[in-house]
Structure 1
Amino acid sequence: MFPIRDHNPSGSTPYVTWALIALNVVVFLSYWQLFSDERALSLFFRDWAMIPALVTARGEYAGLFTSMFLHGGLIHLAGNMLFLWIFGDNLEDRMGHLPFLAFYLASGLAAGATQVMGAPGSMVPTVGASGAIAGVMGGYMLLFPRARVDILIIIIFFVRIITIPAALVLLLWFAIQVVAGLGSDPDMGGVAYWAHAGGFVAGIILTLPVFLRLGGPRFWALHDGVPPNPETLYRFRRTPIPRVGRRR
């Protein structure tokens, strides 16, 4: 179950969102060849990822920033960029290009700091843009809680696309991060659930000034909780390929 698109195009060109996606892809390709050498990849992440124990014991804070542009695999990168593509443009539209960039980076730093607080002695490298993107998701939920988001559900052979309000899917996603974080051991690696949760909360807090400037709850009432742009309508049509009956 994951979002594949929203129904709300932005009113301006999301240059920063595009640039962030491009930068993440370029950085990933720059060390793609290291995935064939586990030792070289580990040394690379030792230098550029965020390692909580090195932050708390040695004050190596640079990884809080550089880790935001690293990913642990192609699926990791593709999933993060999809979420940024879906939710980033509308937030950039309301914040402005440079304020959105500052917001994105601040959310990522807050996400990394939360991961450090959750596992201060962990030597497991943390990489990924998901903490910063979680901030984007938190800000999106605050400004556009009733925006329509298409969700792809896959359960074995059951595949269906449903449309639900953004607040529902994003709050569900946040709850999953918290519950999974409580039940996980950060020292064993895996998903950085606390970075996701911390980024999401930071995104809401950092978006509050924009929300209040736009009118607060009146902004919701004025636009019914969706971006003030014409909604995109996706139409599904049957395939033109004729059905062939079974032979008897």
Structure 2
Amino acid sequence: MFFPIGDDQVHQGHKPYFAYGFIALNVLIFIYQATLDAGSFNEFVYTYGCIPDEIENGQDYYTLLTSTFLHGSWMHLIGNMLYMWIFADNIEASIGNAPFAVFYLLGGLAAGLCHIYFNPGSTIPAVGASGALSAVMGAYIVKFPKSNIKGYFVFFRVNVPAFVFLGFWFFQQSQSGYASLGDTSGGIAWWAHIGGFVFGVLCGFLFRTWYGVPELKVGSGGRKGPFA
């Protein structure tokens, strides 16, 4: 199993204020969630999580946004924030702060709508930043397909091209998404991942046209991630 820890970095560009700000916001919100007792925690998730049945009935549209800042556990949060740290800063650096913030939120919206489409009538709340992050990764595979994703395979330090790592990731999500069709027991919102990624890929082609592809800084001089 490959565990990513970082990537090549944009040599020059916008400071990733929103990417890091979203990390801080997600962490702060989950710290608040962690202070709640079990009943209050569930009530908070059901209030601000995205419930397909409610959206289909014209209720609580705000949860399409708020759900992207909630998480179900520390491991859920840590996994998503690691991917945010690795991938989001390059996208923000290359397209700018305000465009990135809008793209990230629209990616979460697209992911939520895709989840609802493939889970009609579900009363289980969906939470997590992974839908919006999937959009970021979709844009990343288009803008930086040859960027090195640095990580560990078992005990060995290896670099994997972004198009290989993210392509395989999307294949896994697609397989799991199709396998989950008709399953009403809850679990991982695979179709939010798929919808977010496709949205991100489409935006990635627009970003290449509008903003070009900036220089990546590789080697020992580049920022590689939190553990590199």
Give the RMSD, CA atoms, in angstroms: 1.6
Rounded to whole Å, the distance in 1 between the matches of 2:42 and 2:130 is 20
- Per mean C-alpha deviation after superposition, the further-off stretch among 49-58 and 141-150 is 49-58
Rounded to whole Å, the distance in 2 between the matches of 1:229 and 1:58 is 45
| Deviations 1:208-236, CA, capped at 9 Å, x for gaps | 22211245xxx5xxxxxxx50331338xx
Q: 2:156 aligns with which of 153, 160, 165?
A: 160
Could you list the runs of 4 or more consecutive aligned residues of structure 1 that deviate by over 3 angstroms after TM superposition? none
- 1:111 is displaced (CA, Å) by 0.3
Rounded to whole Å, the distance in 2 between the matches of 1:197 and 1:186 is 17
Q: 2:218 aligns with which of 231, 236, 240?
A: 231
The residue matched to 1:112 in structure 2 has which SS? Answer: helix
Counterpart in the other structure of 1:222: none
Counterpart in the other structure of 2:226: none
Rounded to whole Å, the distance in 2 between the matches of 1:47 and 1:230 is 43
- 1:39 is displaced (CA, Å) by 2.4
Rounded to whole Å, the distance in 1 between the matches of 2:201 and 2:129 is 17
Q: TM-score, normalised by structure 1?
A: 0.83
Rounded to whole Å, the distance in 2 between the matches of 1:23 and 1:30 is 11
Rounded to whole Å, the distance in 2 between the matches of 1:136 and 1:186 is 27
Higher-Rg member (1/2): 1
The size of the alignment, in residue pairs, is 218
Q: Does 1:71 align with 2:71?
A: yes
Rounded to whole Å, the distance in 2 between the matches of 1:10 and 1:105 is 25
Structure 1, unmatched stretches of 5+, are 220-226, 235-248
Counterpart in the other structure of 1:101: 101
Q: Does 1:8 align with 2:4?
A: no
Rounded to whole Å, the distance in 2 between the matches of 1:18 and 1:73 is 20
The residue matched to 2:149 in structure 1 has which SS? Answer: strand
| Deviations 1:84-112, CA, capped at 9 Å, x for gaps | 11011111111100000000000000000
| Deviations 1:126-176, CA, capped at 9 Å, x for gaps | 00000001111011110010001113234xxxx323211000000100110
Rounded to whole Å, the distance in 2 between the matches of 1:132 and 1:32 is 22
More relative contact order in 1 or in 2 (CA 8 Å, sep 6+)?
2
Change (3 A) 1:93 1:186: farther
Q: 1:178 aligns with which of 174, 179, 200?
A: 174
Q: TM-score, normalised by structure 2?
A: 0.90
Identity %: 39
Rounded to whole Å, the distance in 1 between the matches of 2:157 and 2:108 is 30
Rounded to whole Å, the distance in 1 between the matches of 2:70 and 2:30 is 6
- Per mean C-alpha deviation after superposition, the further-off stretch among 53-62 and 14-23 is 53-62
Counterpart in the other structure of 1:246: none
The residue matched to 2:9 in structure 1 has which SS? Answer: coil
Opposite residue 19 of structure 2, the aligned amino acid is T
